[in-house]
Amino acid sequence: MTSQRPVRVAVVFGGRSTEHAISCISAGSILQALDPAEFEVLPIGITREGHWVLTSSTAETFAIERGRLPEITEQSGSAALVIPDPTVGSVEVVNATEGVRILSDIDVVFPVLHGAFGEDGTIQGLLEMAGLPYVGAGVFASAAGMDKEFTKKLAAVEGIPTGPYVVLRAGQELSEADKQRLGLPVFVKPSRAGSSFGITKISDWADLAEAMAVARRIDGKVLIEAAIVGREIECGVLESDSGGPALASLPAEIRVVRDHEFYDFEAKYLDAEGVCEFDLPADLPSEVIERVRDYAVRTFEALDCSGLARVDFFVTPELDIYLNEINTMPGFTPNSMFPRMWAVTGVEYPQLVSRLIRLALKRRSRNG
């Protein structure tokens, strides 16, 4: 890379997870925000089947239109395979229809992949082997952040409160003692999923089997969490660009005001108009805001994260704070809370995207 040309960024999105469409929408926002004078962009989509395509799509392509979610298909671009080459630290794009091989020297990868096969350490491991710097958390932090069980365990070691929960692996069932400890209602959710996919709130143990079946369609490991009465508070975390401690945004509050029992996928992405209200920043006492920010940074550090994360909490009427989860590659859609929280904290969307790319490049130079 030289100073005479823009930074060449491969934006990778789509993927095999249930969050394929959200990844596409996030990528569209990022593509729109990248200044062409500063960045040369290579948009690389991954189909639901796992095929990599060099897309010809523009930012405007990736939007929800009349309830229809965007998707990467074989017809989305001209190439059919992308091969990271660990010997030269570049990406070879092979056009399967014409037999043309294009060797593109990539400076940095922005893997805008949410959920399994992207946010869970898999693509991070691939990029590590290829010697390519990338935005966001590394292999371990991505895997631990994706798995709600291990997020809670690592955070608890650092003294960050988590609510009561039970982990059920394949073949395990909830005991009567655990039912008594958890109480009702509870949330039944896949341990490794995002965007509220596969989550069911139940108020009768008779509904547990059906809720477990829904969760296990996504992940064989299921969490059952006691419902915490409280406000849903989120906080963004950014790696420091000066080598100091990570930085926390002002937190935000999300309130579901009609039609949905909790902040599920439809409330987030399909029915957001009039369904949810957002306070940016959250209307909380200053000391509670500072505790939320402190817990967010400590969770980020407990998982050994880098780049960015969004950390979600519950704040009870008594102002107790409980960790809900962490997202190491949070949504970047126009409605996503991570960029909105940083905007009210003083970092606008284009600057946020540019900063994350620069942080990834700086980590490469630091690590050799």
pLDDT per residue over 137-165, tens digit each? 999 999 999 999 999 999 999 999 999 99
Distance separating alpha carbons of residues 85 and 365, to the nearest angstrom: 19
Instruction: Tell me, yes or no, whether 240 and 347 share the same domain.
Output: yes
pLDDT at 102: 54
Does the predicted model carry a pTM greater than 0.85? Answer: yes
Asked, for residue 1, whether it belongs to a domain, the answer is no
* Residues 245, 290 within the same domain: yes
Which domain range does residue 196 map to? 175-226
Looking at residue 84, its amino acid is: P
pLDDT band of residue 81 (cuts 50, 70, 90) is low
pLDDT band (50, 70, 90) for residue 2: very low
Do 254 and 332 have their domain in common?
yes
Task: Give the distance, in angstroms, between the CA of residue 346 and the centroid of all CA atoms in the same chain.
Answer: 21
Two structure tokens written together for 175: 């005991």
Say which CATH number the domain at 262 has: 3.30.470.20
Would residue 169 count as lying in a domain?
Answer: no
CATH number at residue 208: 3.30.1490.20
Residue 314 covered by a domain: yes
Q: Are residues 237 and 190 in the same domain?
A: no
Higher pLDDT, 243 or 352: 352
Q: Are residues 55 and 197 in the same domain?
A: no
- Average model confidence (pLDDT) across the chain: 86
Among residues 137, 156, 142, the alpha carbon closest in space to that of 298 is found at 156
Residue 361, amino acid: L
Least confidently predicted of 104-108, 192-196, 212-216, 295-299: 192-196
| Residue 237 placed within a domain | yes
State pLDDT tens for residues 248-300: 999 999 887 654 455 555 545 544 556 678 899 999 999 999 999 999 999 99
Residue 103 pLDDT > 80: no
Rounded CA separation 241/243 (Å) = 6
Q: What's the rounded mean pLDDT across residues 14-40?
A: 92
Distances (CA, A) of 304 to 137, 258, 292, 299: 8, 38, 18, 9
Residues 214, 315, single domain; the answer is no
Residue 202 three-state SS: strand
| Same domain flag for 270 and 333 | yes
- Whether residue 344 sits in one domain with residue 263: yes
139-146 vs 122-130: helix axis angle to the nearest 10? Answer: 170
Instruction: State the pLDDT at residue 260.
Output: 47
Instruction: Please tell me whether the peptide bond between 185 and the residue prior to it is cis, using omega within 30 degrees of 0.
Output: yes
| 360 in the same domain as 212 | no
